[in-house]
Chains A and B, each alone.
Chain A
């Protein structure tokens, strides 16, 4: 971003950190606006925290392009402040993550059970449907119907088991992240 003063150029280079907030269009605009109008290293740092945008260099040049001043605000971040910010973020993330889990936990189990039942039954139904269709088409009732209903049942059980493993995995992951958070 360039800002042309009376006879100095003010160049600011920045990049977006990976944890930038997803709604960046507005933030970016706001950030750039600040870049143009009032860049002071102290303000920048505050803005950086707010928007998760790292300013890599600020360069002030005169009209001939001679560099008058270079500053690298976030190349040498203040470790103490960073640590404090990280702690605060971690705390907030934990606080945000917790209630969602406790709220949905028992309910999710119920929902998973319900989901498994539907999967089993729809597997059976689809198998039966395919078999019945083949029987009608080939005039072989009841053979395909029998075979495919069985296959559908197996498929239903398979999907059900997959759902169960999935649930175990997410539960394990949730536990692991919980421990890590502590």
Chain B
């Protein structure tokens, strides 16, 4: 992210361009692009942490194993706290989401890397997956009772159809805000870092750079630290919202 030598020529949004890895033709759905690469790396990192790191199953864990156990315990507790005991059945799915998003976010912080979660296309698929799972689960568990979520029985009869439409729309707001938030946060942070980075080499061009360059470098450092926080919090928020939606599907009393 903070490549300085490039001068003002680079555009802060260029880092988000999807490029094919081999050759440069049009991008089709099967084209192997930098997105594919970095998602594969996220999966690889997950495997390294959870499978290779924890494979020794020592009672006194190694460093990697304690990180794996910590992550496991953290999400496990979150699922249990939010959805209750019966939500634990869906823990593998939620944990997969968490660890994938976490690694995708943090891999995106490496210089010159690509942040897959800054693309709505990626986060929307994740959020759509959650939305479909939760909706299907709600219907499978409760049948038509699940529609009670939209039928506010405490309201007067005349208002209920209108309220039903409103509830329906707010139900669809969830996957949208779910995905926009993750992508928006990741994209905004990375773009801001790039903008500051663009100001860093001013010292090579004019006298005012004496002032601008140190400021922008400090800003990059600060922003980067903030991004580290954001990476974790956004993965956390995505996961906890998944838990909340899951709880709604399991207990649609509303």
Contact = CB atoms under 8 A, between A and B. Distances in A.
Interface string B57-78: 1110000000001001100110
Interface stretch (B23-31, B33-41, B165-173): B165-173
A26 B60 CA distance: 10
Measured as residues with beta carbon below 8 angstroms from the partner, the interface class of chain B is: 20 to 34
A45 B102 CA distance: 38
A125 B173 CA distance: 9
A151 B167 CA distance: 9
B233 interface: yes
Contacts of B177: 115, 118-119, 122, 159
Contact of B169 (A23, A50, A115, A130): A130
Most buried by A among B76, B165, B185: B165
B170 to A, nearest CB: 4
Contact of A29 (B54, B57, B184): B57
Interface in B52-98: 54, 57-59, 69, 72-73, 76-77
Dominant secondary structure of chain A at its interface with chain B: helix
A8 interface: no
B180 A159 contact: no
Contacts of A152: 169
Given A22-B73, A23-B69, A114 B169 contact: no
Contacts of B166: 151, 154-155, 158
A175 interface: no
A38 B233 CA distance: 45
A21 B229 CA distance: 27
B170 A123 contact: yes
A122 B165 contact: no
A153 B110 CA distance: 40
Interface string A120-135: 0011011100100000
Contact of A25 (B57, B165, B169): B57
Contact of A104 (B170, B172, B233): B233
B176 interface: yes
Interface string B214-246: 000000000000000100010001000000100
Given A27-B59, A104-B233, A118-B181, A155 B176 contact: no
Nearest to B162: A151
20 contacts: A22-B77, A23-B54, A25-B57, A26-B58, A26-B59, A27-B59, A114-B184, A114-B185, A118-B177, A122-B176, A122-B180, A123-B170, A151-B162, A151-B169, A152-B169, A154-B166, A155-B170, A156-B170, A159-B173, A166-B244
Interface of A: 21-23, 25-27, 29-30, 50, 103-104, 107-108, 111, 114-115, 118-119, 122-123, 125-127, 130, 148, 151-152, 154-156, 158-159, 162, 166
